[in-house]
Amino acid sequence: MQNSPLRIAIVGGGIAGVALALDVCRHPHLDVRLFESAAAFGEVGAGVSFGANAVRAIDGLGIGEPYGQIADQTPAPWQDVWFEWRRGADAGYLGASVAPGVGQSSVHRADFLDALASRLPQGIACFGKRAVQVQQGEDEVRVNFADGSSHSCDLLIGADGIKSSIRDHVLAGLEAPLAQPRYSGTTAYRGLIDSQVLRAAYRERGLNEHLIDVPQMYLGLDAHILTFPVKQGRLINVVAFISDRSQAEPQWPVGQPWVRNASQAEMLEAFDGWGDAARVLLQCIGAPTLWALHDLAELPGYVHGRVALVGDAAHAMLPHQGAGAGQGLEDAWLLARLLGDAQLAGGDVQALLAAYDTVRRPRACRVQRTSREAGELYELRDPATAADETLLGQTLAERFAWLWEHDLQGDLRRARQAIGALQNA
């Protein structure tokens, strides 16, 4: 280890995997390869939101500049607003969640991934490599791919999403049940609207254009709608959620795709009875897509030996706090800090990964849990606030502080302490 670089393999070329690869490839004591199953980098979906914690992780990973060039933020004087909360029935104001200095920081997923991937040095990324098996020995890991090839490394990072194959190896090694994606009972209609088209429609109906300029969340029983700008304000990202709570453990039909094309009529019927602001918004989406929302149960561990999970492979969550991608970036930030320290990376790699698990898992599990709870809150199913709009507005204004104000440097200190304790045990 003192004479040769630590060989790191990252499986999965999404935002978390590429961000991690970009940071660790800068260090001469690390040799990094990234394996992506697709023929090229690509993200599914449209807008993605980042809280203040995620923006700090982005800066810490050295990708703040490319992010800043393409990110959207709420315009002044509302630049600190994350979302305004309104009744779906009449757009009545309930309150706002404010993130000072950050507000609603969002970007188109594909644009962000393109910006990151374009900065990867040649020779790091390998495409058409779908991992099917992991074999772990005392000193190295071998990952086998569907095309018959394999790769050996000192440390393997699974960043391969909610359907991760690397996760199976980790959980089997922990003698824990395998974790399958679970359907939440919620589906979401998604669409992008040209902001000028939406302005014209709002003017025609006498609706306040403030509802376009500032991110909005419209709340209703078993449904909610969010809007925020992407593409430097040229497009408005819309996601309209609707939940079926008739089953305690809902099941998505086997073989049915998680994403399909939907009709505008189908979407409008789902939001029948909602107010003009919401209805006009949906009427401007000519060809929505419908997404079945899945997450993972909290895992008993993210690490087995020399193999670790990051991002959705470890803690896929519902999107209701705008926190899923940010948690992957927090994973990447901490791992990059630990691996970037030549002394730590040249020591006990398994202790390093175990410390990552010790620090990151409780935090990510809490974000998973509260993301589900947020959906209940937005859809008026929280017993404490459903019948009290004042308390609802206050709760929404205050509930995100712990998420956004997280101390990343404190995580790093705790991880270093944990590594020391493991090495001295």
What percentage of the chain exceeds 70 in pLDDT?
98
Buried/exposed 12-25: b ≥16 CB within 10 Å, e otherwise: bbbbbbbbbbbbbb
Domain match, 251 and 342 both: no
From the candidates 87, 190, 306, 361, give the one annotated as an active-site residue.
190
List the CATH number of the domain containing 320.
3.50.50.60
Structure-token pair, residue 33: 């390869």
- For residue 254, give its domain range: 182-295
1 pLDDT band, cuts 50/70/90, is very low
According to the model, what pLDDT value does residue 136 have? 96
According to the model, what pLDDT value does residue 425 have? 67
Q: Residue 380: is its pLDDT beyond 90?
A: yes
List the CATH number of the domain containing 255.
3.30.9.30
| Residue 291 lies inside a defined structural domain of this protein | yes
According to the model, what pLDDT value does residue 283 have? 97
Residue for token pair 């004087």: 77
Three-state secondary-structure class, residue 201: helix
According to the model, what pLDDT value does residue 107 have? 87
Task: Answer yes or no: 190 catalytic.
Answer: yes
Q: Residue 419: is its pLDDT beyond 70?
A: yes
Residue for token pair 């709340």: 219
pLDDT tens digit sequence for 275-316: 999 999 999 999 999 999 999 999 999 999 999 999 999 999
CA distance linking residue 334 with residue 347, whole number of Å? 17
The whole-number average pLDDT for the span 378-382 is: 96
Domain match, 41 and 138 both: yes
DSSP 319: G
Return phi, psi of residue 212, to 5°.
-95, -40
41 pLDDT band, cuts 50/70/90, is confident
Domain match, 41 and 131 both: yes
According to the model, what pLDDT value does residue 89 have? 96
Domain match, 213 and 358 both: no
DSSP 352-392: HHHHHHHHHHHHHHHHHHHHHHHHHHHTT--TTTTT-HHHH
Structure-token pair, residue 151: 């790769």
Q: Residue 174 class from Cβ within 10 Å (0-12 exposed, 13-18 middle, 19+ buried)? A: middle
43 pLDDT band, cuts 50/70/90, is low
| Residue 91 lies inside a defined structural domain of this protein | no
Q: Residue 2: is its pLDDT beyond 70?
A: no
44 pLDDT band, cuts 50/70/90, is low
The distance from CA 355 to its chain's CA centroid, rounded to whole angstroms, is 22
Q: For residues 170 and 155, is the Cβ–Cβ distance under 8 A? A: no
Ranges 109-123, 368-382, 390-404: which has the least confidence: 109-123
Number of domains in the chain: 2
Domain match, 416 and 283 both: no
Return phi, psi of residue 394, to 5°.
-65, -45
Domain match, 399 and 350 both: yes
Domain match, 350 and 206 both: no
Average pLDDT score over the chain: 94
CA atoms within 13 A on the CB side of 341: 16
Domain match, 142 and 290 both: no
| Residue 285 lies inside a defined structural domain of this protein | yes
Which of 249, 269, 295 marks a domain boundary?
A: 295
> What is the pTM (predicted TM-score) of this model?
0.95
| Residue 56 lies inside a defined structural domain of this protein | yes
For residue 20, the one-letter residue type is: L
CA distance linking residue 8 with residue 23, whole number of Å? 12
Domain match, 165 and 148 both: yes
| Residue 87 lies inside a defined structural domain of this protein | no
